[in-house]
Structure formats: C-alpha cells, structure tokens
Amino acid sequence: MAPLNCSRLTMISLVLSVLIIGSANAQLSTNFYSKTCPKLSTTVKSTLQTAISKEARMGASILRLFFHDCFVNGCDGSILLDDTSSFTGEKNANPNRNSARGFDVIDNIKTAVENVCPGVVSCADILAIAAADSVAILGGPTWNVKLGRRDAKTASQSAANTAIPAPTSNLNTLTSMFSAVGLSSKDLVTLSGAHTIGQARCTNFRARIYNETNINAAFASTRQSNCPKASGSGDNNLAPLDLQTPSSFDNNYFKNLVQNKGLLHSDQQLFNGGSTNSIVSGYSTSPSSFSSDFAAAMIKMGNIKPLTGSNGEIRKNCRKTN
C-alpha cells in the first residue's frame, strides 16, 4: 500500500480533529431523543403529573432544582448526586440543605424512563424536561426543551455555596450573579417570576417582615402570624411566595411586588426604585409578555455550560455516578 502524502495526512488529521471537537461540543436540540427514546415526553409528564396531583408545591420544587443545578457549573445534574463517605455533593450546601426537594420524584421519573429506553436519557435532561412540564402543568407557558445534556461525574458544594443567589441578596448582587452565568438583568426579573409558585421558609423571610420598611404593613402582619420574630422558633414554617395564587403559574408575583408584597428581600429588590422597576411593572400588566419571556429565559438558562458529546455520562441512577 502506497504511503500517504503529507497533505492527505494533514486533511485526515483535520477531519478527525473536527469530529472529536464536534462530539465534545455538540449542540443541544429539541429532537435529540426522537429516535432513541420516542416515548420520553409522555413518560416524564405522566409520572410528574402524578406527583404534582399529590402535592401542587412539588412543581415549584422541581423547577427550583433545575435553577440550582444550572447555576452551579452548568445544567449537568450535579445537584442530584448524594453525598458518600468519599464524595461531597451539593445537597448540603447552604442554599440546598433542608430546602431542596423533589429528588424522589426525579428518581421515579428516571425509573419510568429507564423502563422504556434504558441507558439513553441523562438525569440532567430529565430534570430540564420535568422543570418545563411543572410550569405547564401549573398553568404556565410551554416551550420545546433543548436536550442532549450528559451527567456530571462531579459536584461542587463550594460552588453551590457561592453561585446560587441568596434570599437576602440586593439588586447589584443578583445582577452580577446572573451575569456570571450569562443571564441579563431582564432574565433575572423574568426567571424570578418562578416565585409565582411555591413556598418559602420563615427563616428566609423573617428579617424582611420584621425589619424592612418597603413592605406593605398588612402583608407583613399576615406573614408575622406564622413566623415568630425569635430566630430558631418556627424556622421551617412555610408561607407562599405568591400571596394570591401559590399553585398557579401566572403574573401575580409581579403585581405583588408593585404593591410591596414581595416575600423575600431578593424579590422586593426587583421593584425598589432601581433599574429593574420598569420590567416588573411591564410584567404586572402583561401576563402574555411574562409568559413568552419566561419560556425564552428558561431555554437560555438551560444552555448554561451543558456537558455534551463525549463529556460526562448517562447515569443509571441519578443519585450516584456509574
């Protein structure tokens, strides 16, 4: 066989390099599993619907898991990993400890998906689909979820402690933390609208309802009735993030902010005389604008540093690496 000349060798090398780079940096797509797992969408939604039917709050919990996953080294399923004697995950980081929930629901969805297409769908993608379905089931917008993520083999408790915005954050901190993951101040306001569903613990809003002045007095009084002033008393008592319709995905969250009825300090920061006031005002009067912008922002957030191609793995069990 004749030896390959230099230019041909160079061309082959270039093609191989492109293939390798392409596999490592593959783009997410909405039809990623259309042939390998055609029943994926119906399987996820039916399992999730059962969970939300039992407890409406679960939809908000799943959506929050996705946020907390994406903000820590990208949307890679790292938040789902359990701690072991030789591995420290993100579940006990300050933003997640005693508050992140819904892991058992993701486990149930993963089991159902494995039954129809074993070894095909990542836990990171299951979480992304479940977050979108949660919004839709609770009456919010729908969007075509981009898929093709693979699962991280590592996690970072320290990154979870520093990258996830705290309920005590001010507007500058919120803006910079969102900017750090490629999200704009508009995305910040839009995605904060996820607080139209779900509950918060007394420990996370106590300082606001007792100490802050930019709060509706009657609203503060209502919340104080179930959240004692003394730290350590009633810390885990819950209150709805949206006073009016805590189990419906709508724009009431923004109406509340305009009336100084934001539950968390970080919520009310979005409407406190700063640069985001006009966005909040707009969403408070236009539910359709909020819905369409929320769908777009969720797709954008879902694109934060995904592992694709030959990176990561497809976990068999979402709680541990293969």
Active site residues: 68
State the Cα–Cα distance between residues 205 and 157, nearest whole angstrom.
24
Q: Any idea of the CA torsion for 319, 107, 143, 160, to the nearest 10 degrees?
A: -30
User: Would the CA dihedral through 61, 160, 242, 129 be positive or negative?
Assistant: negative
Closest CA to 106 of 57, 164, 44: 44
- Annotated ligand binding at 274? The verdict is no
SS3 15: helix
- Annotated ligand binding at 267? The verdict is no
Question: Tokens standing for 147?
Answer: 């898929």
State the Cα–Cα distance between residues 284 and 193, nearest whole angstrom.
10
- Determine the distance from the C-alpha atom of residue 81 to the mean position of all C-alpha atoms in its chain, rounded to a whole number: 16
What is the largest distance, in Å, between two alpha-carbon atoms of the chain?
Answer: 88
Between vectors from CA 197 to CA 297 and to CA 157, what angle results, nearest 5°? Answer: 70
DSSP β-bridge partners for residue 33? none
- Annotated ligand binding at 69? The verdict is yes
State the Cα–Cα distance between residues 204 and 197, nearest whole angstrom.
16
- Annotated ligand binding at 242? The verdict is yes
- Annotated ligand binding at 280? The verdict is no
- Annotated ligand binding at 276? The verdict is no
Closest CA to 142 of 282, 292, 38: 292
- Annotated ligand binding at 74? The verdict is yes
Q: Contact, 51 vs 137, CB < 8 A?
A: no
Q: Contact, 270 vs 281, CB < 8 A?
A: no
State the Cα–Cα distance between residues 202 and 298, nearest whole angstrom.
28
- Annotated ligand binding at 196? The verdict is yes
Binding residues for heme b: 195
- Known binding site: residues? 69, 72, 74, 76, 78, 90, 165, 195-196, 242, 245, 250
